Amino acid sequence: MINSIKQSFCSCWSSCSDSNSDYALVNTRAKVSEHDSSQEAVSKTRPISSFRCRNVSKIEKQNTSIISLDLSQKSTTQFEEAQLISVNFHIDGKTFTSINGNLRDEELSENTKKLHEFSIKILDCEGNRCIHEPDKIFQKNLMRCINEGMVSFYKISVSPDKIHTLYKKTYREVFGDDFNIPTCMEFARYIKYDIDDRDRIDSHIQSCKLIDSIQDAPEFSDVAILAIKSTDIIHEFIHIAHGICLNKIGTGSIYFAQFNQLLEFYDLCSNNYRLVVLREKLS
């Protein structure tokens, strides 16, 4: 299945330890439709009550704004070859399924004008609550993705006529008109490390720590799914907590999703992928 994923739409397919490698992503699955699937089967993620959580009631009474994720409320986005089940999120009582990511998200922007500082609340299917507070870089950069869209500020200087070292074709032949649109990797590293230039990506990551499961990934960490026999990256995302991920699908939109839903989307099982936490180079 790895070979078909490689030719599909959200495989970065480059070494996370080779500073000279090219990061690639082929986006051939066009989004077809989206529908609410709040009543679908619940996730296999462990209940939040099994984790040590912060004082939720205390934080809720403060003036901090909250992005709320209710794991019982899902939406399904249909692509040509697969569907993604994502978690709906709520801001000031309004429900959203995704973030545009590339362009200014007009509807979200209207609802996040005062969202300069925020926490993320997760409500599991058993009613357990937990709140997680991202750092200032995460907050600032996610708001910029919403209010401006990555295409407006992310620096991609690659020529469409440049030959891609992996595919031996030009970037335009590989990516089509999306050759200059940020990918899952570029989104994750912008959110986590404030990298807004594709030319800086390769030299920024110092090491990759192999982990046994997504529950071993720290809060708000940069996580990559690797091919089983190489360091080729299949997908990269930010792990919020408890298996909840924030990720950009291909060159498309940004979604909150549970990790097992990402595995289903990429048709992965335990014997054909590995997980690593990426760490930035210390200055």
Three-state secondary structure of 56-75: HHHHHHCCCEEEEEEEEEEE
The rounded percent of the chain whose pLDDT value lies above 70 is: 73
Burial 221-243 (b: 16+ CB within 10 A, else e): bbbbbbbeeebbbbbbbbbbbbb
d(CA 243, CA 261): 10
Phi-psi region of 27 (alpha: psi -120 to 50; beta: other; left: phi over 0): beta
In terms of average pLDDT, the best of 11-20, 179-188, 249-258 is: 249-258
Residue 199: predicted pLDDT = 80
d(CA 77, CA 34): 4
Q: What is the mean pLDDT of the chain?
A: 79
Residue with tokens 């500073």: 19
pLDDT band at residue 56 under the 50/70/90 scheme:
low
Residue with tokens 């990934």: 217
Residue 226: predicted pLDDT = 92
Give 90's strand partners.
Answer: 68, 95
d(CA 232, CA 167): 14
Q: Where are the alpha helices (DSSP H) in 62-200?
A: 106-111, 136-147, 171-175, 184-193
Residue 282: predicted pLDDT = 59
pLDDT at 30 over 60: no
Nearest alpha carbon to residue 26 among 235, 260, 257, 230: 235
pLDDT at 21 over 50: no
In angstroms, how far is the first alpha carbon of the chain from the final one? 39
Residue 193: predicted pLDDT = 93
What's the length of the chain?
283
Residue 246: predicted pLDDT = 98
d(CA 83, CA 156): 29
Which pLDDT tens digit goes with each residue over 118-165? 999 999 988 899 999 999 999 999 999 999 999 999 998 778 888 866
pLDDT at 5 over 50: no
User: Cβ(220)–Cβ(240) under 8 Å?
Assistant: yes
pLDDT band at residue 27 under the 50/70/90 scheme:
very low
Which pLDDT tens digit goes with each residue over 185-235? 999 999 999 999 988 877 766 678 999 999 999 999 999 999 888 778 899
Q: What is the DSSP letter of 216?
A: G
Nearest alpha carbon to residue 91 among 107, 71, 72: 107
The rounded percent of the chain whose pLDDT value lies above 90 is: 52
User: Cβ(167)–Cβ(179) under 8 Å?
Assistant: no
Residue 263: predicted pLDDT = 96
